[in-house]
Amino acid sequence: MAILIENLTKVYGDQKAVDDISFEVKTGEVVGFLGPNGAGKSTTMKMITCYMAPTAGKIFLEGLDVDKNPEEIKKKIGYLPENNPLYTDMAIIDYLKFCADIQGVEKTKVNERIHKMVDMCGLNLERHKRIGELSKGYRQRVGLAQAMIHDPEVLILDEPTTGLDPNQIIEIRKLIKELGKEKTVILSSHILSEVEATCDRILIINKGKIVADGTSETLRGQAQGKELIKVEIEASNGADIKKKLLGLASVESVKELEEKKNYFLVQSKPEHTSRKDVFDACVKNKWYLMEMTRIETKLEDVFREVTN
């Protein structure tokens, strides 16, 4: 089920939490939604799930206007909110049965769906406990189970791996990738490596606006327009290495690494490489070039660049 967002805006008083954003998520696509705290991620997700009405703009799910068809849309969406509200006094099985009833799951299929979700979300060992007796990680699994209990076509997951240990994160990552083969998934996370490993595409939002959209490879490639290299240079003549490197035509900036003597981070100008110029400078000045390493741009670097 495809999702289309057109000029979506949400205003709280004088603040625009979401500022005229537009994007599309195709059927079977897993999209990661990244952004600093307060960037507008959760607000956007709440509007898609009909939890909150937009100030302006339109949301369509497979051509259905969310504003005009909220009840029908809710049946097609599974939602795990950031704070994962649960009835902690209920047993896991009773809670999932309650959620299945609310979502209109056929009576004859309720037990089958519960058993499938318990198995899929790794709740077998805890299935007879009350939710209040569970660790944070297992409560998160219960939240995932309730989001999927009615077999929705769209999954909106706000920080789905919060509270999970590394092994559980890997399991949930596999689960989300499997679900993405047949469902449309939007998930937010602060763990950038997790988003990169799980998602087909990444959206980065900052101050209510979409500032980047593409695959992790595409975003890293765009950022690699400015090459970054690490060099170790020794000069026996007491030369000001940093000053001379800054004077090279292809170099935009030079930073000394305080923790390592004679190490420098050299930032090339856009669409330039400074490796040859640095090498030539070492030969000309009779410096010893001990190391030259090109630093691959990481998703973290892209995130910092577009959100600062």
Q: What is the pLDDT of residues 49-84, one digit of tens each?
A: 999 999 999 999 988 999 898 889 999 999 999 889
Q: Is the confidence at residue 98, as pLDDT, over 80? A: yes
> Which residue type sits at 205?
I
pLDDT at 222: 64
Residues 104 and 186 in one domain: yes
What pLDDT digit, counting tens, does each position of 222-278 carry? 665 677 889 999 987 667 899 999 999 999 989 888 767 889 989 888 878 899 999
pLDDT at 10: 96
Q: Can you give the residue range of the structural domain that contains 153?
A: 3-214
pLDDT at 189: 85
Give CA–CA dist 267/252, Å, rounded: 6
Residues 8 and 143 in one domain: yes
Residues 108 and 248 in one domain: no
Residues 158 and 270 in one domain: no
Does the pTM surpass 0.85? The reply is no
- Mean pLDDT along residues 281-304: 86
Give CA–CA dist 189/97, Å, rounded: 28
Task: Please name the residue that has the structure tokens 């003549």.
Answer: 237
Tokens matching residue 74: 């809710």
| CA torsion angle 160 86 82 31 (round to 10) | 40
- Mean pLDDT along residues 297-303: 78
Residues 184 and 288 in one domain: no
What pLDDT digit, counting tens, does each position of 127-162 carry? 999 999 998 889 999 999 999 999 999 999 998 887
Residues 17 and 89 in one domain: yes
pLDDT at 223: 63
Of 189, 182, 186, the C-alpha closest to 200 is 186
Residues 238 and 90 in one domain: no
Residues 177 and 230 in one domain: no
Domain count, the chain: 2
Q: Pick the most confident of 79-83, 171-175, 214-218, 279-283.
A: 279-283
Sheet strands (E) in the chain: 3-12, 15-25, 30-34, 56-61, 64-65, 77-80, 154-158, 184-188, 201-206, 209-214, 228-234, 251-256, 263-268, 288-294
Lowest mean pLDDT among 43-52, 166-175, 215-224, 270-279: 215-224
Among the candidates 161, 193, 214, a domain finishes at 214
Q: Is the confidence at residue 217, as pLDDT, over 80? A: no
CATH number, domain of 273, equals 3.30.70.100
Residues 166 and 284 in one domain: no
Among the candidates 164, 190, 214, a domain finishes at 214
What pLDDT digit, counting tens, does each position of 3-16 carry? 999 999 999 988 99
